[in-house]
Amino acid sequence: MAIRTEFVTVPVDDGSSMRAYVARPEGTPRAGLIVFQEIFGINPHIRDITERFAREGYLAIAPELFHRTGAGFESGYTDMAPGFGHMQQMNDTNLAADIRAAFDWLQGASDGKKIPTGAVGYCMGGRTAALAAMTVPLACGISYYGGGIAPSPFNPGLLEWLKEVHAPMLFFWGGLDGFIKPEHVRMVTDRMRAANKPFASVEFSDADHGFFCDQRGSYNSNAASQAWPLTLAYLASHTKTS
């Protein structure tokens, strides 16, 4: 499917402005999708993912979550320090404002008609996808190796707030992930189950953190190629309209 891409500027309700990368499919989109970044910014990999979803018919927007401290920031995968520096200056209040801004932009961008909207995120974006499911009326959320949903050295996590999730969630994990260990995965799934929230949890036992990113040394082609159709099926199931 042919697509069009552009950067847009989105107003945020805290008075800031946020750049976002948008990929539009031809014709009427099947649904909207927010794509949440890793700590490396809206770099070529995140832009590529956003475009891949657009080719599947989704009007996809990747908001720049570091816009307050590093507008335009993007990096490769050899030095994580700059990205961590920006991430450590974030807070959930600001993230919630960014989530609302991206969601509202999608609702006004398809010929003025509201469309069912999902969210997908990677690493810190996987955590943000879970936060989005608590913040706006998503059709579903998808979290790839979402660091910081369970407590981590960098933030206290979201476990106490998972009861506020209002959308079905699909979680992907890597069994070899040194950042998100099996006990962290259990914390998340146990809390979701205790709160009676609909979710699916998929672990690829031989995959590491970042397994979906074909620009990282931890890329796992088998896991990535299996996760992609599962992602599309989950989105299609929860964003379809009658």
Q: What is the pLDDT of residue 242?
A: 57
Nearest to 214 by CA among 202, 203, 224: 224
123 is catalytic: yes
User: What is the count of structural domains for the chain?
Assistant: 1
Q: How many whole angstroms separate alpha carbon 212 and alpha carbon 210?
A: 6
Please give the C-alpha separations between residue 117 and each of 5, 7, 101, 203, 237, in angstroms, as whole numbers: 19, 19, 13, 25, 12
Catalytic residue among 86, 209, 213, 238: 209
- Strands 3-11, 17-25: pairing kind: antiparallel
Three-state SS for 187? helix
Quick one: which H or E segment has residue 82? helix 81-87
- Record the pTM: 0.97
Angle at 81 between CA 50 and CA 170, to 5 degrees: 40
Q: How many whole angstroms separate alpha carbon 27 and alpha carbon 55?
A: 11
Q: Which CATH number belongs to the domain containing residue 218 in this structure? A: 3.40.50.1820
Q: What is the pLDDT of residue 34?
A: 98
Q: Which residue has the tokens 């994990």?
A: 173
Domain hosting 38: range is 3-239
Q: What is the pLDDT of residue 15?
A: 96
Q: What is the pLDDT of residue 79?
A: 87
**pLDDT tens figures, 20-34:** 999 999 999 999 999
209 is catalytic: yes
213 is catalytic: no
Residues of the chain with pLDDT under 50: none
Catalytic residue among 86, 177, 184, 208: 177
Catalytic residue among 67, 123, 184, 238: 123
Q: What is the pLDDT of residue 95?
A: 98
Nearest to 224 by CA among 160, 162, 174: 174
- Strands 31-36, 117-122: pairing kind: parallel
Q: Is 69 within 8 Å of 21 (Cβ atoms)?
A: no
Q: What is the pLDDT of residue 152?
A: 84
